[in-house]
Structure 1
Amino acid sequence: VLVALLIGLTIGKAWERYKLRGGRWIDRRKARKSPHYILGLNFLVSNQIDLAIEELSNA
């Protein structure tokens, strides 16, 4: 049971940190520093959903 718990935690942390985009793994932490991420959040807060989706998909 302990081994399964450790494997689950490892997979969960990797899922949180990395994302597959275009056949490549990218680090989500670096993507959060991009201007697209900030603009997407700004559009989301100002209730401009279409622009937010476009910018966040570019992040």
Structure 2
Amino acid sequence: MQWLSVEDFFHMGGYAFYVWGSFGITALVVVAEIWQLRAKRREILRNLLNETDSQHD
């Protein structure tokens, strides 16, 4: 597909809402997944640290 201008590129042949909406939703889901994984990792590390501390007491 060829575009004659930047405006044509962003308009996406009349499908801009669908195309850019899809990119936006995908980016949102990826960011949410990364945030959730980081939160889960912190929780697991905190639990492991608490277990280790309680075993040494």
TM-score (norm 2): 0.37
Query: Taking structure 1 as the reference length, what is the TM-score of the superposition?
Result: 0.36
Structure whose residues are more often helix by fraction: 2
The structure in which a higher percent of residues are strand is: 1
